[in-house]
Structures are given as structure tokens and as C-alpha cells.
């Protein structure tokens, strides 16, 4: 299964056939290609070691991204991640997880980081370019293989396509992996097989798109760096940056307009403002920004309210009441304060969950499970969200998990490989379709290209 080096996976063409058969969190929310990062105050840089558990994974496993000690076959239901090789016990003491395109990351309660899966660009941070089918420790800054000391004091992790980020307790950021567009933020375009320190401090959250990175500062400002081909850095240009850049969300760059969450997905960026509204910028070729248009934006624009039409302004027609965001390769999911969901963007595999395969330029409501379009009932009771390459995952307040969208590798965890345009329940360990028992007790989720991670709380 060869994978091109220094390149992202190409999106599948959005043909009519494909449409019919079918682009970094609080510590409990995953970052990465498909995740969100959130922070309300600097004290989010403190770990909650009591909120730990066992890591599970399901979906594609061609490069060991499930961490179960094999690369043999996909898993359509959850399986434990190995604690070490050989696999005699599961990986425990995990606080949160992040999923890249083909690699996985786990943050443990002691502040150390483990990674597994594809490693040709050094995205596992162990000083080598060797794939790992079980978790390996991420080396400390300045180390070389074989490493004698390891990354520590980490409070959050995020994963892009081929690079990884970690937020340290002192507010500094380290990064490793592919750096062809400057996504590591160290002022170079040199790949790094071990973490390097980024010239940004005072951060409270991190997130990653395909080949760009984001950080949220204590002052509520957003920092971006890396690939800028679609304007995803928010500086009004398409010039890559190898150092962090401060994004302004209005003409005055008013620090009172605090951002509380960020999400990098594909070639775009999304920010959640304190008052519950959302702004986005970057690639918009299929309406991924939710502003009602298909025009790329090099500066932040408002995400429209459900049912609104462009142009959307700051009063009355913008999406509101949002508490969390997650961005996939070409779609975005938002969690409202009432526990319901909104989604927009590419929908060729049903990743918007509205019962259709129709892409949307403005947000739509996510249906309840097994609903049919037009939906009369809607998904509710959600506490956290993640967005994979072409699928979505939601964590319920009762510890259950729902998923929808592309399922060609079993990444929805329902025991099948069928696409789903409305949410389905993720099966419990040991189940086969049709599953009688759903997965429960989950406290954290993450979604990659074709695999999903979860932490079941102890």
C-alpha cells in the first residue's frame, strides 16, 4: 500500500456516482486533521489525571494506525490499542487522543506522549522514519534516535496529515514530522523526526489542518503557520509562513473579541468566538466555510445561521449558540449549547448527517439515528465532536458514541463498511454486526483519514 511522500492524499473526485454511493480541544476533545481545540482560560493547561482510561481504535489499519500490533485488515468495531509490544495489555492511563491521516497520538496522565502508525515523515517523533504497529514514546526536544529522554509536561496534542503538535504546561508548543510548508513553525522547511520548539508561547490550545497549524493564545488571539495555498492562515495572502502569524477577526484586531476554540481542517481554519458565533477562512471550493458561497477567503468570514443565505452579517444571520467545533477534510461540525449539532461543507459520503449526500454551503441540522430526509428528529445529547477525513464522530453525554459518513474501512465502528448519512451507534468491544451492545463509558474521541480513536474512562 504505497503512500506518496511529502504529499497529501488526493480528494476523491465529487462525481455524481460518488455522491450517490456515498475535506486541536479542551483536553477531552481531540485536535488534529479532524478535531477541535478549545480553551476558556489559561488554567486549561492543567492536566486532569483523574480523567484517564484505556485507548481503543477502529477502522483502517494499513500502517498500524490502530496500534493493535498488526497491519492485517481493517477493524469495523473497536479494538484495544496495545500497551507495548508484544500486546499483552491495553494502553492505559490515557487522557486524550489525536488522529492524523495515518498516524495516532495518545497523551497520558503523566504528561508523556505515545504515537503509532505511519512514520515516513517523522510524524511519530521517535527519531526514526519507521512505521510502528504499537505505541512508541515521543522523544524530547533535541534528542536523536535512540532517544534517552522523552517529551513530558504535555497537556494537549494535535495531528495534521503528516505532522504532530504538542502543547506544554508552560504554554509553549513543540512540533514534529513533515515541514514542507513550514507547518512545524520553527522557521525552516526541514522535516523533523523529533520535536522542535516553536517560537510561540502563552498558548492554551493547538490544532492542525492538513499542512498548516493553529494555536490559541491566552489573550484570545489565533496564531497560524504553514501552508497557505487557499488562504487558510488568514493573513489575506496565499504565501506560506514558517513562523506563527496573528490572525485578526475584524478590521481593528480587537483583543476583546476573544476566541475560545480553534479547528484546522483540510486547507481551512475555523474559530469559535466567546459569544458562540463562528468564523472561518481558507478553502471554500465546495462551501466548506459555511458563508453561503464557494469563494476562497484569505480573511475570516462569518458562518451563516441555518437557513440563512449569503451575504451573512454579524447580526441576526450568523450561526450562534455554539460551544465546540471540529473540522474534517472538507466539512465542519459544530456543537450547540443545547446538545444538538450543525454541519456544513462536502457531503459526498453523508458526513453532514442530514440524511442526504448533498453538499451544503450553510449549516444544516444533524439528524437523529436512522432518520430519513427530510428529518423530523435530530441528534441531541452530544457533549463532544470530532471530524475525520470524510466522516464525523460525536460523543454523547452518557458516554456513548455516534458516527456517520464514509465507512469504507469500518471507521464508523458499527460492524459494517456501509456509508451512513445519519448517525449510527458505535459497537462495544467484541461485538459483530448487527451489534446488540453499544460502546459506552467513552470520555474522549478523535478521527483520522479512515480510523477512529477513543478513550474509555477507568
Domains of the chain: 16-457 (2.130.10.30)
Res. 315 pLDDT band, cuts 50 70 90: low
- At residue 218, the pLDDT reads 87
Out of 37-46, 292-301, 435-444, pick the least confident.
37-46
Res. 257 pLDDT band, cuts 50 70 90: low
Region 363-391: mean pLDDT is 93
The tens digit of pLDDT for each residue in 185-201 reads: 999 999 999 999 997 67
Neighbours of 15 (CB within 10 A): 11
Region 20-25: mean pLDDT is 27
Cβ contacts of 309 within 8 Å, gap of 6 or more: 292, 362
With pLDDT > 70 as the criterion, what percentage of the chain qualifies? 87
Given a cut of 50, is residue 42 above it in pLDDT?
Answer: no
Region 385-395: mean pLDDT is 98
CB 123 within 8 A of CB 163: yes
- At residue 46, the pLDDT reads 53
Give one word for 109, left, alpha or beta, with left for phi > 0 and alpha for psi -120 to 50.
alpha
Res. 374 pLDDT band, cuts 50 70 90: confident
With pLDDT > 90 as the criterion, what percentage of the chain qualifies? 79
Cα–Cα distance for residue pair 413/407, rounded to 1 Å: 8
Is residue 14 exposed (0-12), middle (13-18) or buried (19+ Cβ within 10 Å)?
Answer: middle
- At residue 51, the pLDDT reads 74
- At residue 316, the pLDDT reads 67
Question: What are the DSSP E strand ranges found in 328-435?
Answer: 331-336, 341-345, 360-365, 382-387, 391-396, 401-405, 420-425
At 191, is the secondary structure helix, strand, or coil? coil
- At residue 49, the pLDDT reads 56
The tens digit of pLDDT for each residue in 106-150 reads: 999 999 999 999 999 999 999 999 999 999 999 999 999 999 999
Phi, psi (rounded to 5 degrees) for 432: -130, 155
Helix (H) or strand (E) holding 20: helix 16-21
Radius of gyration of the chain (CA): 19
Res. 311 pLDDT band, cuts 50 70 90: confident
Res. 41 pLDDT band, cuts 50 70 90: very low
Of 298 and 49, the structure prediction assigns the larger pLDDT to: 298
Region 3-24: mean pLDDT is 29
Res. 452 pLDDT band, cuts 50 70 90: very high
Region 12-41: mean pLDDT is 32
Given a cut of 70, is residue 363 above it in pLDDT?
Answer: yes
Amino acid at each position: 500500500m504505497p503512500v506518496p511522500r511529502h504529499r497529501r492524499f488526493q480528494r476523491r473526485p465529487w462525481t455524481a456516482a460518488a455522491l450517490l454511493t456515498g475535506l486541536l480541544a479542551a483536553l477531552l476533545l481531540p485536535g488534529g486533521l479532524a478535531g477541535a481545540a478549545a480553551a476558556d482560560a489559561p488554567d486549561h493547561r492543567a492536566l486532569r489525571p483523574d480523567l484517564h482510561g484505556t485507548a481503543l481504535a477502529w477502522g483502517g489499519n494499513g500502517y498500524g494506525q490502530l496500534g493493535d500490533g498488526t497491519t492485517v485488515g481493517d477493524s469495523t468495531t473497536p479494538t484495544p490499542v496495545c500497551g507495548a509490544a508484544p500486546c499483552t495489555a491495553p494502553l492505559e492511563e490515557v487522557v486524550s487522543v489525536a488522529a492524523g491521516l495515518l498516524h495516532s497520538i495518545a497523551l497520558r496522565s503523566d504528561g508523556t506522549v505515545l504515537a503509532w502508525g505511519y512514520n515516513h515523515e517523522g510524524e511519530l517523533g521517535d527519531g526514526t522514519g519507521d512505521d510502528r504497529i504499537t505505541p512508541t514514546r515521543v522523544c524530547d526536544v533535541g534528542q536523536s534516535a535512540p532517544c534517552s529522554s522523552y517529551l513530558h509536561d504535555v497537556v494537549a496534542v494535535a495531528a495534521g496529515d503528516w505532522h504532530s503538535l504538542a502543547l506544554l504546561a508552560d504554554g509553549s508548543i513543540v512540533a514534529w514530522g513533515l515541514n514542507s510548508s513550514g507547518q512545524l513553525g520553527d522557521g525552516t522547511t526541514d522535516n523533523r523526526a523529533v520535536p522542535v520548539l516553536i517560537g510561540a508561547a502563552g498558548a492554551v490550545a493547538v490544532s492542525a489542518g492538513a499542512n498548516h497549524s493553529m494555536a490559541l493564545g491566552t489573550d484570545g488571539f489565533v496564531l497560524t503557520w504553514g501552508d497557505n495555498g487557499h488562504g487558510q492562515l488568514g493573513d489575506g495572502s496565499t504565501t506560506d509562513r514558517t513562523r506563527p502569524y496573528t490572525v485578526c477577526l475584524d478590521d481593528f484586531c480587537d483583543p476583546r473579541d476573544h476566541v475560545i476554540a480553534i479547528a484546522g481542517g483540510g486547507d481551512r481554519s475555523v474559530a469559535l468566538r466567546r459569544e458562540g458565533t463562528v468564523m472561518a477562512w481558507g478553502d471554500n471550493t465546495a462551501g466548506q466555510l459555511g458563508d453561503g458561497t464557494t469563494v476562497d477567503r484569505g480573511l475570516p468570514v462569518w458562518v451563516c445561521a441555518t437557513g440563512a443565505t449569503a451575504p451573512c452579517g454579524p447580526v441576526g444571520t450568523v450561526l450562534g449558540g455554539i460551544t465546540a467545533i471540529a473540522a474534517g477534510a472538507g466539512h465542519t461540525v459544530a456543537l450547540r449549547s443545547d446538545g444538538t449539532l450543525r454541519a456544513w461543507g462536502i457531503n459526498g459520503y453523508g458526513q453532514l448527517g442530514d440524511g442526504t449526500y448533498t453538499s451544503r454551503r450553510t449549516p444544516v441540522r444533524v439528524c437523529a439515528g436512522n432518520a430519513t430526509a427530510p428529518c423530523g428528529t435530530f441528534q441531541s445529547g452530544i457533549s463532544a465532536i470530532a471530524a475525520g477525513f470524510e466522516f464525523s464522530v460525536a460523543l454523547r453525554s452518557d458516554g456513548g458514541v455516534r458516527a456517520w459518513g464514509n465507512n469504507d474501512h469500518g471507521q464508523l465502528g458499527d460492524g459494517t463498511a456501509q456509508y451512513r448519512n445519519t448517525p449510527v451507534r458505535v459497537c462495544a468491544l467484541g461485538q459483530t454486526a448487527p451489534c446488540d451492545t453499544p460502546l459506552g463509558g467513552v470520555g474522549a474521541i478523535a478521527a483520522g483519514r479512515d480510523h477512529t480513536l477513543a478513550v474509555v474512562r477507568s
